[in-house]
Amino acid sequence: MEMLVSCRETDATCTIQQAIDACFLQGGGEVQIPEGKYSVTSLRLRSNVCLHLLENAQLIASRNCEDYEKFLEDTLEPVPEHDKSDADVWKGPPYEPDYEFFNKPGSRWNRGVIKALDAENISIIGEKGSVINGRDCYDALGEEGYRGPHAINLWRCKNITLSGYTVQNSANWAHAIFESNGINVDGITVVAGHDGIHMTACDNIRIANSTFETGDDCVAGIDNENVYVGSCLMNSSCSALRFGGRNVLIENCRMEGPGKYFFRGSLSEEEKKNGILAESKEGQHRNNMLTAFLYHADHSRAIRGNSGKIVIQNCVFKNVDRFMEYNFSGSNIWQMNAPLTDVTFENITAEGIKIPLVLYGDKDNKVSLTMKNIDVSFSDEAKDSFIQLCHFDSVLLDSVTVKNLKVPVLIRKWSDDGKIVTENFVCEGFNGEMEAMADEPFVCQWI
């Protein structure tokens, strides 16, 4: 079944939803949104339905955060009572395991401009100029006291296709996807807002040929399995990858800072309320890109297993503060739910690095690092070592070249329980120690 939406009334939500529902009741079909601007609140996508934004079609989200509660009033596929939540909204970190705020599809935090629950064979496809605009909807009861609905919020879905459109100014994550299987993302663009795509407990994921220019992390998530990210541009005022999972391949990506758009957490309360949409400017709020790869395993939920077999290859890092950060030492709440067993970097060119690569396991959960064919050039601001290690199993540095690092020690260790192997390791112009134990007790800080 194919339906063309023609209404451009003040609020087109009802008209678009009726078209989605009609396709669903006929066994599936495509809802086409033609060129124009359509004001919407919350749309529910259903099984076997494609939402197709034609050229220059724009969905413009409401800036009234209470408009997004209508999802709970659905009578065609009522939201199960066990998915609803009366929990208080934001309490801040550290999170408790199975924290209801995040883990109930019907909670305030899980509001979205487009939502799907227990759906299969769903797609959102956009043509040139198609946009989903979250308008930085402000919610004083939301996460961190200002974040509003996600642009796209999907729970327990199967066979998801997302392609071609742009999400801009998402009030929280542009794509928040949970407990879903078979996710194919191709050729999307995310501009400003928060995380570009954040997946939790999802399997069989492909993200390709996409552009992320975000105020927060580009590709993020915890407890994911069988993940491919390829040929993407990542520009962020946080991290390119804040990710945890098993069997993860990242390749042919360019991760470049500083962020084109603000980290919205650095805005004033008034700016958050008003929706500051402008690009960042030097010295105006924070927009440095923190990390190329930041491990992620927080306590927002139980995690199915440890992370490992993460490979990042054939990538460029430019003007990113830190190459990588992993800290399982006990002081980083964002990484302490499950350990990382191993990570591999291969064929990487990095320039403008400022802060050491950090690899901290603990005595019961040691971690291994492999670096092959790596060319790292440090910024003139760099004042510490190349790598800092604690409770590691093995580190292999094979054909690694380090440039412009004027420090006394290349590798600084807080434990001596692991093995370091170097082959064709070169640090240009370096006259100090290759390895050194720290001269003071191990203290870890998350930067």
> pLDDT class for 223, splitting at 50, 70, 90?
very high
For 359-369, how does the pLDDT look when each residue is reduced to its tens digit (9 = 90+)?
999 889 999 99
pLDDT > 70 in the chain, percent:
92
What does the pLDDT average to over 190-218?
97
Residue 351 counted as domain residue: yes
The mean pLDDT of the chain is 91
Residue 69 counted as domain residue: no
- Between residues 287 and 184, which one has the greater pLDDT? 184
Question: How far is Cα 70 from Cα 322, in angstroms, rounded to an integer?
Answer: 42
Q: What is the pLDDT of residue 10?
A: 72
Residue 129 counted as domain residue: no
Question: How far is Cα 354 from Cα 351, in angstroms, rounded to an integer?
Answer: 9
What does the pLDDT average to over 147-171?
97
Question: How far is Cα 292 from Cα 253, in angstroms, rounded to an integer?
Answer: 11
For 371-416, how does the pLDDT look when each residue is reduced to its tens digit (9 = 90+)?
999 999 999 998 889 999 999 999 999 999 999 998 888 999 988 8
Q: Closest by alpha carbon to 13, among 54, 56, 55, 74?
A: 74
Lowest mean pLDDT, pick from 112-126, 146-160, 402-416: 402-416
Residue type, 156: R
Residue 404 counted as domain residue: yes
Domain encompassing residue 241: 205-258+286-447
Residue 291 counted as domain residue: yes
DSSP lists the bridge partners of residue 383 as none
Q: What is the pLDDT of residue 40?
A: 97
How many domains are there within the chain?
1
For residue 29, how far is the Cα from the chain centroid?
A: 30
pLDDT > 90 in the chain, percent:
75
For 31-40, how does the pLDDT look when each residue is reduced to its tens digit (9 = 90+)?
999 999 999 9
Residue 214 counted as domain residue: yes
Residue 95 counted as domain residue: no
Residue 28 counted as domain residue: no
Instruction: Cis check for the bond before 356: say yes or no (omega within 30 of 0).
Output: no
DSSP lists the bridge partners of residue 178 as 155, 200
The C-alpha torsion from 313 through 314 and 318 to 323, rounded to 10°, is 20
Q: What is the pLDDT of residue 97?
A: 65
Lowest mean pLDDT, pick from 26-40, 81-95, 217-231, 395-409: 81-95
Q: Which residues contact 5 (CB under 8 A, 6 or more apart)?
A: 12, 15, 16, 19, 31, 32, 33, 34, 38
Asked whether residue 46 carries a pLDDT value surpassing 60, the answer given is yes
Question: How far is Cα 6 from Cα 113, in angstroms, rounded to an integer?
Answer: 20
For 313-332, how does the pLDDT look when each residue is reduced to its tens digit (9 = 90+)?
999 999 999 999 999 976 67
What does the pLDDT average to over 271-293?
73
Q: What is the pLDDT of residue 56?
A: 98
Token code pair at residue 352: 């403008």
> pLDDT class for 444, splitting at 50, 70, 90?
very low
The CATH code of the domain that includes 338 is 2.160.20.10
- Asked if 165 and 125 count as a contact pair (C-beta separation under 8 A), the reply is yes
Q: What is the pLDDT of residue 415?
A: 86
- Between residues 432 and 390, which one has the greater pLDDT? 390
DSSP state of 69: G
**Phi then psi for 362, rounded to 5 degrees?**
-135, 175
Asked whether residue 221 carries a pLDDT value surpassing 50, the answer given is yes
Question: How far is Cα 154 from Cα 82, in angstroms, rounded to an integer?
Answer: 17
DSSP lists the bridge partners of residue 59 as 38, 132
